[in-house]
Amino acid sequence: MADGKKYVELHWAEKYDKYEKGEKLPIEKPNLPFQVVETVNKPRLKDLEGGLFDPDKFYPESKYPENYPKDWKNLLIWGDNKLVMSSLIKQGWAGKINLIYIDPPFFTGADFTIRTKIGDERIEKEPSIIEERAYKDTWSGGIASYLKYMYERLVLMKELLAENGSIYVHLDWHVGHYVKVMMDEIFGYENFRNELVWRYRRWPAPSRDFQKMHDVILRYTKIKKYTWNQLYEPKAESTLKAFGDVRLTTEITERGTIKKVRTSETSKGTNMSDVWEIPMIQGSASYEREITSNYDTQKPEALLKRIILASSNPGDIVADFFCGSGTTLSVAEKLGRRWLGSDLSKFAIQVTRKRLLDIHNSKDLMEDKK
């Protein structure tokens, strides 16, 4: 555990081959200079022409958040995120990132082949030599090598996280259970905040099991004092029927029981729960797919919108070290956050670059209006 008391610990092959059991594993931290390929000084979202963005929720050019330094440049870095993060730490970024969201490979064995669509033609982009080598190096030792890969990266992420920071790790049934135990060890069991369930619908697969229709997102914070903006969801029909749409408070009765009391204010809904039903991005013709040439593992902007609104404030720094098609960075930009993204795949970097450069033409199709 983070405080030195180890109650439970995940072991994998070779974890302690070179070290004493229980010893803190040292993580190498090379410092590689970043080579600047391009600096873009383009305006961000256009002002609200055509009413594409809701002025209360999005930040067009003329409405920079107050704590957004004028000389700040967002960063999109091509490379293995282990090297990217260790170099960032060496270059003074430790403790600077307010929110990290990652959607790493799930150990499905298919994460490095990119399926995409150009016109009507569906193509499969074979992995580049770098991607292929990374794939072989990374998974050659099976699940143990996956766990080592995640452990090293999560330790670096903790170092980059600000004191008020939160980290969200998006996984599914393949390895979610292992990574949760690992995160307890790295971040501390007491800093676990939520296991979010993202429930979606898709065509049922023929199977003699219950249909697998959810991912999990593990949420941890660095310490117990963290950035939190309450989000709401609509009240249940039964609550509306019983109490109407007013804000409810609780009162202790004379007998010591808790009673719900109506106030005169209208309610904002009920505090959001940890089960999120958000549709997958619909069809290859949908706007979100179009801007990324149908990037295979792309997540809906609506999902990232909740995470970024709940755990960061305008002007904060949001990072995604497995940025893929750039969903996190796009939503961060729309919500007035600063951002930093990296990916090993050149294709992912190209897709993200284009998505961010075109953002001023973007539509607010983050269906989720909470």
Neighbours of 51 (CB within 10 A): 8
86 belongs to the binding site for ligand SAM (CB under 6 A) = no
Nearest approach in angstroms of CB 128 to ligand SAM is 10
Q: Given candidates 81, 116, 191, 294, which one binds ligand SAM under the rule CB under 6 A?
A: 81
| 330 lies in the binding site for ligand SAM (CB under 6 A) | no
Task: Between 80 and 159, name the residue whose CB sits nearer to ligand SAM.
Answer: 80
Six token digits for residue 210: 């219950």
Nearer residue to ligand SAM within complex by CB, 103 or 333: 103
C-alpha to C-alpha distance for 281 and 303, rounded to whole angstroms: 10
Q: Let me know: does 137 contact 73? Beta carbons within 8 Å.
A: no
Member of 87, 166, 311, 327 binding ligand SAM (CB under 6 A):
327
At 318, phi and psi to the nearest 5? Answer: -110, 135
Task: Provide the 3-class DSSP secondary structure of residue 146.
Answer: helix
User: Does position 322 bind ligand SAM by CB under 6 A?
Assistant: yes
The one-letter amino acid code at 132 reads E
Query: Binding residue for ligand SAM (CB under 6 A) from 45, 75, 80, 278?
Result: 80
Report d(CA 192, CA 218) in Å as an integer. Answer: 8
* CB proximity list for 133: less than 8 A, separation 6 or greater: none
Residue from 103, 184, 215, 333 binding ligand SAM (CB under 6 A): 103
Distance from the first to the final alpha carbon of the chain: 36
Residue nearest to ligand SAM as judged by C-beta position: 324
Q: Which stretch binds ligand SAM (CB under 6 A): 102-110, 186-194, 198-206, 360-368?
A: 102-110
Task: Tell me the C-alpha distance between 226 and 94, whole Å.
Answer: 17
Q: Is 298 in the site for ligand SAM (CB under 6 A)?
A: yes
By CB under 6 A, residue 297 contacts ligand SAM: yes
Q: Applying CB under 6 A, which residues contact ligand SAM?
A: 80-81, 103-105, 111, 134, 295, 297-299, 322, 324-325, 327, 342-345, 348
